[in-house]
Amino acid sequence: MLRYLFLLLILYWSCTSSRHNLPDAVVGEVGSNGMIVTANPVASEVGARILQQGGNAWDAAVAVQFALAVVYPVAGNIGGGGFAVYRSADGTSGSLDFREKASVHAGRDMYLDQDGNIIDRLSLEGHLAAGVPGVVDGMVRLHERFGSLPWEELLAPSVEIANSGYVLTEQDAHNYNRAQQLFKKFNSPDMLFIKEEGWEKGDTLFQPDLAATMSRIRDRGRAGFYDGETAEFIIDEMQRGNGMISQEDLDRYEAQWRDPVKGNYRGHGIISMPPPSSGGIALVQLLKSAEAFPIGKWGLNTVSTVHVLTEIEKRVYADRATFLGDPDHYDVPQEMLISDDYLAQRMADIDPKRTTPSQEIKEGKVDIIESVETTHFSVVDKDQNAVSITTTLNSYFGCKVIVSGAGFFLNNEMDDFSVKAGVPNQFGLLGSEANEIQPEKRMLSSMTPTIVEKDGELLMVVGSPGGSTIITSVFQTIMNVVDHDMGMQQAVNAKRIHHQWLPDRLIIEDQALSAKVLEELEHKGYEISSRGAIGRVDAVLVLPDGSLEGGADPRGDDRAIGF
């Protein structure tokens, strides 16, 4: 019966839809022997150089991660965490979870006052907001399993850049300037990024403390960060600001190899990140649900397309808030959530004539969606080994604390827990007890590093920053290629929309929808608001002739380099 109702809905829409013009066709950087796409031109150059020196995709990924910690400290980091999804040339795939963890000293109510109310900003700013960093351990494990070049060669570029300095872009200067007051609030007056007269495009930033930290990691690997002088700097910083991370936390941290989430969309294999990322499960739910509708026939950002995607997104994000958490601490019902029968039932009450109020899907109240600073990069080498990595500090510059003497920012990922069940985090995302704070638990994430296959071969490597908008940005980019026949750069450039169940508001990029589409959606009951940018997708597409097209997002300083 449910499937019959679903078919009736599809028939209704098929009779009432019209095709919408696609964005201008544009071809991105093309290469035949490798492709790097990152959020920063310098980091892309570092990765390309590693590939040209004979390194594989994992070598390049490690070098890029450390380079981003130097030239893109707003999100690139060694004081945060992230996820990696990979696919070897022989088709073997897997994922690595190097997400931050709560301290062994953490507790469920650590951000609540004596009356059980959330203490404002405590999980967002300052030392107590930081989880135990996972990036360095993650990169060490990637290299141990897959690396081909010596570890020291992969760290050398970052040490050199931190010592010799790098030239700020306009966006870099803007990022540093907007955080000046918070830098001053949580750091000593001589903190490197504080500049009374303000930063300007063209300024050169030198980071000797970070160079020394990178040198210790280069020479000692994991021990160069989690032990010895760097660890002492971290612990001293925690003591200075009443933080929680201890030497025991650093000693006990371990990245985890996990089986990726897999699905299928119109004959394309989807390989994505499992919990504690919500991204993979949510992405497969979105794609499998959208597969029932003729998205390609309807066109990009038409009334029918926007309506059905929004209705699907509402239900998937409600599931995210209810069922997802760290699988080492909570039994996530993954197979149920991505099963055909469950999704058919979940989507059966979609009404083509009106938007479903989010309160009818599940109770809750959320008032905010804020911006975030995460970064994604995609790598494919000459053999078509592929790596998709998303890492983050959470907010821009994390908790705004730089580790004195070590030169890197700490994350504020503790806010990604359900600080209090049923109360939204900074991105307006709700959580339940599945994501409550526990010692050594990993907080839920929206990061969605993903690889797409076609006919058993590599097709696409994709991911995005953007907090709660990450999942929908990746979702739409895949559909742009599969349903709308776009190339990689065209798919990345296309305007995006976003709905996350609560708040019950459709977010669109400026000029994403025509006046006519907006009018029809409002008639269906939509509340709509616009913003400048949703996500920053960096992706690679394998073209029919086997060459690689990079899609670097024009919403930032992102750059693709192929050769």
- Can you give the three-state secondary structure of 318-340, one letter per residue? HHHHHHCCCCCCCCCCHHHHCCH
HSE toward the beta carbon, residue 288, CA cutoff 13 A = 24
Report helix, strand or coil for 311.
Answer: helix
Instruction: Respond yes or no on whether the N-terminal peptide bond of residue 189 is cis (omega within 30° of 0).
Output: no
From edge to edge, which strands make up the β-sheet containing 528-531?
497-498, 506-509, 528-531
Least Cα distance to 65 among 100, 36, 30 occurs for 36
Q: What are phi and psi of 562, to 5 degrees?
A: -120, 160
Other CB atoms within a 10 A radius of the CB of residue 527 amount to 11
H or E element in which residue 231 lies: helix 228-240
Query: In the numeric block, which tokens belong to residue 245?
Result: 């991370």
Report helix, strand or coil for 117.
Answer: coil
Judged by phi (left if over 0) then psi (alpha if -120 to 50, else beta), residue 277 lies in: beta
Q: Residue 117, class by beta-carbon neighbours within 10 Å (0-12 exposed, 13-18 middle, 19+ buried)?
A: exposed
Instruction: Respond yes or no on whether the N-terminal peptide bond of residue 544 is cis (omega within 30° of 0).
Output: no
Query: In the numeric block, which tokens belong to residue 58?
Result: 């994992």
Cβ–Cβ under 8 Å, residues 369 and 507: yes
Instruction: State the Cα–Cα distance between residues 169 and 41, nearest whole angstrom.
Output: 10
Alpha helix stretches (DSSP H) within 101-164: 135-146, 151-164
Query: In the numeric block, which tokens belong to residue 464?
Result: 């995005």
> Which residues lie closer than 8 Å to 52 by C-beta, 6 or more apart?
34, 563
Q: Would you give the end-to-end CA distance of the chain in angstroms?
A: 54
Instruction: State the Cα–Cα distance between residues 50 and 46, nearest whole angstrom.
Output: 6
Catalytic residue positions, numbered: 374
Instruction: State the Cα–Cα distance between residues 338 and 311, nearest whole angstrom.
Output: 17
